[in-house]
Structure 1
Amino acid sequence: MKFLFLCFILFIGTVWAGEGTYPLAHIVGPQIIENSTHIPTGYYTFRHVETGQYLQFIDFDNQVVPTQGPNSTVFNGTLWTVKWHGDKNYSIHHLNKVKYDKCISTRWDHYRGMDDAAVMWQCEIDNVTRNEPDFDIYPHFKGVYNASSPRPLQKRWMKRYVNTYEAIRLDKQQWLFMRADPSTTPEFTNVQFDPSTGENRMSGSMVEPDRDKWQHSGSHYFYIVSAAHLWNMIPRCIYPTAMYVFDFTANNTGVTKLDYCVWGNRSLLWEATLWKPASFPLGYIPDSRFLPDNTSSFAWIGLDPQSATSSTLIWWAVLLTFSLIVWVLH
């Protein structure tokens, strides 16, 4: 009954709700979580069930777009690291060519007031542990991405934002895997995720990944739901369409659209294939450049009322009073 109510609410939301807050979000948010599930952490590919396209990382300008042509296959460019972050929240990572950790993140459209796309940003949710596959799923892969068509829009006359980066909310780099069939719990071969420890439990030998023989630890269908604004707006899911033109963020790179989550809409379904389970140590060290500044506005004169002693405060009070008297008499 609860799930049927969720479907009804999400359907109604797509009909009459536009941008802005959603009055039923306090109901839909918990339902999304209830119908999402735990999955083992490890290395996954995500293939769209209708188009056959995979979510792909392209190192050029840190893009995440559905694959095209020869790239529509399983190779290291479509292999993602999935980590757990409590409850049913997961992050989806890929290292670029210089080994910087990038996470699939939710982008906010300042003009329409909504989350509009999945983008690749530096990982805020875990910028300590950088993990890459210890195997090559497709040795000697010859696929080539045509960087000229399509290509991120880069023209000299365009307004380019400079130094606009700010630390983002961690929920923008967290995703939920909502089951295509909420009445079942997805099972993976010889592996189960244990949320009490944050690690995988093996019940047998690990399946060796082999794309030629299609050997993996299991595939299941999910809606990939953004955890951002889950409590005050209509939930948004990854939709298999690339976007290349926008001018309200710092980098005009290739991104993948988000659309309203509607249960039963196959255009939102992705086949998540676990090629190799792995348990990851999680770490989080925020960048000090973007931490809130707790320093008092008086610090520039050597006085911080939060830490100053009483004698220091009295000394400064006398000095300021004396300066005021001198100024008045002058």
Structure 2
Amino acid sequence: MNTKFLSCDWGTSNFRIRLVDLDNLAILKELKSEDGVKFLYQKYAVQDQKDRLSFYLSFLKDKLKLLRLENEKYNIVCSGMASSNLGLKELPYSSFPIDLSGSTLNTTKIKLAPHYNLYLVSGVKNDYGMMRGEEVQAIGLENYVKKFEKGVLILPGTHSKHIFFEDGFFTDLSNYMTGELFDVLSKQSILSNSIRHGQLDEAHYHPFQYGVSLGLAGKLTSSLFGIRARHILHNHDLEENGAMLSGLLIGDELSYLKHHTDQVILAAPESISKQYQMALTSVLDKIKLTVIDADQLDKALLEGQKKILNLHEKQY
């Protein structure tokens, strides 16, 4: 068996493929582009020479040529939006509960070329939400999750995912459009002229925490127009207003945790980890919060894909 595998992370807007050492998960080669499934589906839709699967696989073969790999057999594990209705092949969602090993995730094997096997991983759903990609990160974080009997894993982003776990299983999911709401409100609403997005530094801690307190108190919609009033009537700094809006939205997202007594595991990109840590310590005892840094979060995807590969290589 090859001591390397190919990790493919295919999102709505971006494509990334990496050659990874199976033993230590070191990244040996990497290729990134803005060829997300949305863009590629548009290109597929205006041609009639290939079916969807063939069209996407041809694209993938072209990308693999750019990596200039040795002439060996490689397994590719692909997660994210590639299994969606815009991706190379739509797979049904798995349903909760899912175990930490990844054995209950819906995965299919596709022969890409004589030297390439592709393992395509689908997402997970419940009656009111779904995710594609984060489930692989979640099983990759098994070593953190299994330390606790019960809790919630929080994966912030454009659409934040709160994945609940208990006794070795992920049991449920809540989705929050926090990042997208910030983008829409700060760029397309009446608040757009009253807000500037900046780094959360010490000068902006107070307005951020003020926003968090309002969000935690369930005052999101009643506080939004107040941001414009801060600008027009009181001449508050635009970056302060941006910090307040961020706090308001994050506080609203986390407000249910006021009554939560189990462990919370935060795994956030570096750009928003500080904001979530500050907000969470406003509502939780520090002993109830575990923080996973951005490097470990990125490695979690590789760890999860490796687990899926090991499971399915045994079956085939």
Under a length normalisation based on structure 2, what TM-score does the superposition of the two structures give? 0.21
Q: Whose RCO is larger (CA < 8 A, sep 6+)?
A: 1
Counting helix residues as a fraction of each chain, which structure ranks higher?
2
Larger radius of gyration: 1
